[in-house]
């Protein structure tokens, strides 16, 4: 397995295969790089080099007590990008990963990055905090914290119903999605996962996003019950100077799985453009 070491000695696991222009993926909570299987294999088969890492505290990466915050997540991503000497890269982030790649660009610049893709991202601000009164209420996130603390294994079995929209009448259902979500979740450590909840809910990207001038593709499902499109995806597209918004009708938060073929086609078009 492949790892890079960060400044504080944390080992970050990554996957890297294919040849061509690099596309770098950042996953959502509480998952890991395996969440990108469907995108990575497809894009590698279509002429791209694909890289995905496990965020610290998640998956196969180390589980330190310190550094479980958005700034450090972005610094860890920078270590991966620099260690692999990636250039002209396209960054793709889902949910929390969207915040991570946004903070990477505003913190580390675009010398190595040409484009970004935000998928169901928590940007510009997910939570009802800092005047963002129509964001996700703190009671919701407190419920996620409690469920994580009380019995995260059960949470990771139950949450996929909402995550993949399997709770909706007539929706596609897959026990494979459920068990993959559970397995990826349980590979991480409770300390880092618990700390990450505050990061995806309260991190505020509103001001810094105004300075991102590279092309950004924003994709969001209007059936997302986890990260509602009205206060995230649509607002990101309004703030970013060079954004294109694509709305997937009825799509849930986990649309990289439920709408895999459509997303893969959109990513390929954006990467080739």
Q: Which active-site residues does the annotation give?
A: 95, 224, 253
The Cα 160–Cα 166 span in angstroms is 7
At 23, is the secondary structure helix, strand, or coil? strand
Query: What number of CA atoms fall less than 13 Å from residue 194's CA on the CB side?
Result: 14
Q: Which two tokens stand for residue 238?
A: 């309004």
Q: For 6-28, b where at least 16 C-beta lie within 10 A, e where not — what string?
A: beeebebbbbbebeebbbbbbbb
Alpha carbon separation from 248 to 3, 41, 243 (Å, rounded): 35, 22, 16
Query: Residue 15's beta-bridge partner residues?
Result: 52
Q: Catalogue the E-assigned strands of the chain.
A: 2-5, 11-17, 21-26, 48-53, 89-94, 113-119, 216-221, 243-248
Tell which residue, 117, 119, 113, has the closest CA to residue 95: 119
Tell which residue, 78, 98, 64, has the closest CA to residue 189: 64
The Cα 122–Cα 63 span in angstroms is 23
The Cα 87–Cα 210 span in angstroms is 23
The Cα 246–Cα 110 span in angstroms is 23
């Amino acid at each position: 397995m492949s790892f890079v070491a960060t400044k504080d000695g944390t080992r970050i696991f990554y996957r890297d295969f294919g040849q061509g222009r690099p596309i770098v993926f950042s996953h959502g909570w509480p998952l890991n790089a395996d969440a990108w299987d469907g995108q990575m294999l497809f894009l590698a088969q279509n002429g791209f080099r694909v890289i995905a890492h496990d965020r610290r505290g998640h998956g196969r990466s180390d589980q330190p007590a310190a550094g479980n915050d958005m700034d450090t997540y972005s610094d860890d991503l920078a270590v991966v990008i620099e260690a692999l000497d990636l250039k002209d890269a396209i960054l793709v982030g889902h949910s929390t990963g969207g915040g991570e790649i946004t903070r990477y660009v505003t913190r580390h610049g675009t010398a190595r990055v040409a484009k970004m893709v935000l998928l169901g991202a928590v940007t510009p601000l997910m939570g009802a905090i800092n005047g963002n009164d129509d964001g996700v209420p703190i009671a919701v996130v407190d419920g996620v914290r409690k469920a994580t603390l009380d019995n995260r294994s059960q949470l990771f079995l139950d949450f996929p119903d909402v995550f993949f929209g399997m709770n909706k009448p007539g929706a596609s259902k897959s026990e494979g999605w459920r068990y993959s979500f559970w397995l990826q979740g349980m590979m991480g450590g409770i300390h880092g996962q618990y700390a990450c909840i505050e990061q995806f809910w309260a991190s505020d990207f509103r001001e810094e996003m105004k300075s991102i001038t590279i092309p950004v593709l924003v994709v969001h499902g209007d059936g997302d019950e986890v990260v509602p499109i009205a206060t995230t995806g649509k607002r990101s597209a309004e703030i970013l100077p060079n954004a294109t918004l694509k709305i997937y009708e009825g799509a849930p938060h986990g649309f990289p799985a439920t709408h895999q073929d459509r997303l893969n086609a959109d990513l390929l078009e954006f990467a080739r453009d």
